[in-house]
Chains A and B, each alone.
Chain A
Amino acid sequence: MASKKYDLVIKDGQVIDPALGFGKEAHVFVKDGRIVKIQKDSAAIARDLKSLDDDQLIDAAGKIVIPGLIDIHVHLREPGGEAKETIETGCRAAAAGGFTSVCCMPNTTPRIDNQETVKFVQDRAAGADARVYVVGAITKNIEGKELSEIGDLVKIGAVAITDDGNYVQNPEIMRRSLEYASMFDIPVMQHAEDQFLCAGGVMNESFQSSRLGIKGAPAVAEEIAVARDIALCQVTGGRLHIQHVTTRGAVEAIRKAKLAGINVTAEVTPHHLVLTDEEIGKEFNTNLRVNPPLRSAADRDAVIEGLIDGTIDCIASDHAPHAEQDKDCEFDMAPPGMIGLETTVGLIKTYLIDKGYLSWADAVRKMTANPARILGLPGGSLAVDSPADITIIDPEKKWTVRADRFQSRSKNSAFIGYKLSGCVFKTIMGGRIVFG
C-alpha cells in the first residue's frame, strides 16, 4: 500500500456521542489526527479492517467509546508550584483520567494575568498528554482591584477569565469584568463565596461544624454571591459561569436565571456530588478540606438534581494538587483542595450512573459537549473531521483508588481506598494514544 488508509481504528465499541445524538456499536476511524468516519460493520469495512496491522487496531468490544473528556477547572500549579504538579504531570493525570482537554486556572505564581505567563503555559503544554486551555485572571494579581488586560489575554488564547480561589468581592469590579469580557464573548468564571461570610471558615457551617467546634463557611455565602452575580450578569448582558456549585439555594438561583434567559452556566465537582460534611468528623482527613466546603446531604442531593435537570451544565474536577507535607497536618491548617482528574470517571459511574441519576449519554454530555460549548473549545464530539480526541471506557471494571497509582505529582485525594466501578481503558489525543 502506498499510504495507509487509516492510522487507527477503534472497533466494536459502544460509541456514545451526545453532540451527534449517536449511541450504538460502531467502529471509529482515525487518520492524520482526525476522525475520518464512524461506521458499523459492512463487507467493505470488514475488508478495511483486515488490511490493518494489529497495532493500528484497538479492540473496544464491551467498552464505551466517547469523545475525549474536557475538564474546565484544573489547577496545574505551574508556574510556581512545581513541587505539587507540573503541566506535564497534570496532563499525564488528565490522560489517565480520560481527559484530553483541560482548562487551567490562573492562580499560579506568577498569576496568569499577562500574555507572557499564558505563553509560558502554552509552551510547556506543547507535547503534553492533554490539550491545555488557559483561563486568565479577571483582575491583576487576582486581587480583585483592577481588571487585567483581558483583551491581551484573549488575543493570545485565553478561553475565559476567573480569579478562582478568590471571589471578586467588589460588585463594581465584577460588573465591569462582565461588561468588558462581553466584547470578546468569553465567560467570566466565578468562585462564588462571599469572603466576609466565609472568613476563617474551614468546613460547611452545619450541625457537623457545630458538633466539631470547627469554624463554618455557610451555604448563604455561596448563595448571596451567586444571586449577586446573576443580577450583574443580567444588567450587563455578559456571560457568567458559576464554578463548583454546592448548595440548594445556588442551584435554585441558577435554575431561575436560566428560565429567565440570563446567560449563566454552572459546573459541579465529583466530590461535591459524592461526599458530605459528615465525613469530616470521622478521621479529620485533611483531603476533605476543600473550598467551597463539602455540604450537607440535602445540599448534595439538590446539586445532583440540578445536574440531572440541566441547571448545572457540566462536571469539572477542580483538580487541586497539594504536597503531602502540606496536607499532613491539623485539619484547619490544611490548604483547601483535592485532586480529581483520575477519579472523576470512576466516581461518576459508581455514584451517578449506577445509582440511576444519569445515563452514560447524560454524563458524557456534561464532560464533553457542554464544557466545549461553554468555552468554545474545538473538541467534545466525534464528528467527522474533528480532532481525534477519544476516550475508551471499561464500564464495569472494578478498581480500588490507590495513591501509588496516581499519575499526578500529588496524592491528595479523599477517595483513596474507595472501590469504584468503571475506569478509563485508553485515551487518545489527536490520534495519539496518551494513556492505556
Chain B
Amino acid sequence: MSRLSSRHLLGLEGVPKEDISRILETAVSFREVIDRTIKKVPTLRGVTVLNLFYEPSTRTRISFELAEKRLSADTVNFSASTSSVKKGESLRDTVQNIEAMKIDMVVVRHRSTGVPYFLTQCMDANIINAGDGAHEHPTQALLDMFTIWRKYGRLDKLRVVLVGDIKHSRVIRSNIWGLQTMGASVALCGPSTLLPVEVEKFGCDVYTNVDEALDGADVVNVMRVQLERQQSGLLPSQREYTNLFGITKDRLKRLNKNYTIMHPGPMNRGVEIASEVADSDHSVILDQVTNGQAVRMAVLYLLSGRQEEEGM
C-alpha cells in the first residue's frame, strides 16, 4: 500500500500538504544515502520500474534511473519517439504490452497532457509523471521545493518568483500548486505572450516587469526559454527576451538578502540567466540535481508501499 494518499503521482494540483511534507521529509534520509560511499539501499529489491520516455530527456531519465538503482529496483528503459503524426503502435497497445511484462512502477514522460492518467486507467502499476505536455512535472517541483526547504527550513511565507515561459512550462505549473499548498507566496513573471489566458486564476501575483517581480523575493526559479518561440510570433528575438527578462547580476539587488537562484536545467547561459548569476554562491542549481535523486527515491519508495529496511 502506498504511503501517500494516492497510488500514483500524476501532478501536484490537489495533492494534500501531508503528502508533500512526507515526500520532503523522506527525501532527507535518501539524501544522506546519496552522500555515502556506498550509495545503495535494498528498499525496492524485487520491484521492477519502467522508465517510459516518449520524449527525449537525458537528465530526468538519468535522475530517475539512478534513484531506482540506488533503491535496488530492477530498471528497464523504453524510449519511443513520437512524431506528431500517429504512426506505428498505439499508446494502448504499448501500455498493454508493458502490463503483460509485469512491471510494478512506471515513470512516464510524454508530449501529451493526460498520458499518465491514461496509464492509470489501463494498468495496475504505480504511475509517476515525469512530465506530460505542458501540464505537470511533479518530481521537478518537489525537488525544487526540497531544495528551498533544506536551505530555509520552511516553505511557508517565502516569496518565490518563477520567471520564463509560463504558458508552456509544466515545471511552473507543478511549482505553483506545490508551493501554494505549502504556504509559499508565488509570483509569475514572463512576457505577456507567454502568460496563459486567465493566468490570474492560478492565484499568483503576475508580472511582466522582472524588476518588479524580483522586489522583495527570496527565491528566483529561472526557466529555460525555448528559442523557437520567435517563429510562432510569441517573441520578437532572443536578444529582446534577454534584455527584458534575463536574470542578470544587476537585477538581483531587489531581492531579499539571503536570496536563492534556481534553474531546472538545461540552461541557456546568457539568455535567460547570466553566467555570473548561475555560478554565484546564491545559486543552488547543482544542489537541485543531487536533490532530484533523493526526492525521486522518496517518491518511488512511498508509492511502492515497501517497508523501510535496515541499511537505510
A and B co-occur in one complex: yes
| Chain A residues numbered 203-220 whose CB sits less than 8 Å from any CB in chain B | 205-207, 209-214, 216, 218
Task: Please give the distance in Å from B90's CB to the nearest CB on chain A.
Answer: 6
Asked if B296 is at the interface of the complex by the 8 Å CB criterion, the answer is no
B196 contacts the other chain (CB 8 A): yes
Bound: A284/B112 CA distance, A: 11
Known A325-B90, A328-B92: A213·B198 in contact at CB below 8 Å: no
Binds A, one of B44-52, B114-122, B297-305: B114-122
Q: Which of the 9-residue segments A10-18, A311-319, A330-338, A358-366 touches chain B?
A: A330-338
Q: Is B118 in contact with A284, judged by CB distance below 8 angstroms? A: yes
Report how many A-B pairs have Cβ atoms within 8 Å: 65
Q: Could you say which of A211, A283, A328 contacts B117, with CB atoms under 8 Å apart?
A: A283
Q: Which of A190-212 contact B (CB under 8 A)?
A: 205-207, 209-212
Contact A330 to B110, CB < 8 A, known contacts A212-B135, A284-B118: yes
Residues of B within 8 A of A210 (CB): 167, 196-199, 201-202
Q: A209-B196, A210-B199 are in contact. Are A333 and B86 (CB under 8 A)?
A: yes
Q: How far is the CA of A214 from the CA of B110 in the complex (A)?
A: 13
Instruction: List the A side residues contacting B136 at CB < 8 Å.
Output: 213
Chain B: minimal CB distance from A332 (Å): 5
Tell me whether A329 and B114 are in contact (CB under 8 A). Answer: no
Contacts of A283 in B (CB 8 A): 117, 121
A214 touches B133 (CB 8 A): yes
Contact B196 A330 (CB under 8 A): no
Nearest B residue (CB) for A331 = B114
Which residue in chain B gives the minimum CB-CB distance to A296? B198
Decide if B170 is an interface residue (CB 8 Å cutoff). Answer: yes
Specify which chain A residues have a CB less than 8 angstroms from the CB of B134 in the assembled complex. 213-214
Query: Per-residue CB proximity of B175-209 to A under 8 Å, as 1/0?
Result: 00000000000000000000011110110000000
Cβ 8 A contact of A206, one of B112, B121, B197: B197
Q: Is the CB of A331 within 8 A of B113?
A: yes
Instruction: Please tell me if the beta carbons of A207 and B201 are within 8 angstroms of each other in the complex.
Output: yes
Nearest to A213 among chain B residues (CB) is: B134
Residues of A within 8 A of B117 (CB): 283-284
B96-119 toward A: CB 8 Å interface, digit per residue (1/0)?
000000000000001011110110
User: Given the complex of chains A and B, what is the CA–CA distance between A214 and B197 in angstroms?
Assistant: 11
Contact for B170 among A207, A213, A284, A328, CB less than 8 A: A213
Q: Is B173 an interface residue (CB 8 A)?
A: yes
Q: Does B168 contact A (CB under 8 A)?
A: yes
Q: Which of A207, A218, A328, A332 contacts B113 (CB 8 A)?
A: A332
B110: chain A residues within 8 A (beta carbon): 330
CB distance from B122 to the nearest CB of A (A): 10
Query: What is A's interface to B at a CB cutoff of 8 Å?
Result: 205-207, 209-214, 216, 218, 283-284, 325, 328-333
* A/B interface sample: 25 pairs, CB < 8 A: A207-B198, A209-B196, A209-B197, A210-B167, A210-B196, A210-B198, A210-B201, A210-B202, A211-B201, A211-B202, A213-B113, A213-B132, A213-B135, A213-B168, A216-B197, A283-B117, A284-B113, A328-B90, A329-B92, A330-B112, A330-B114, A330-B118, A331-B112, A331-B113, A332-B113
Q: Which 4 A-B pairs have the closest CB atoms?
A: A213-B134, A210-B196, A284-B114, A330-B112
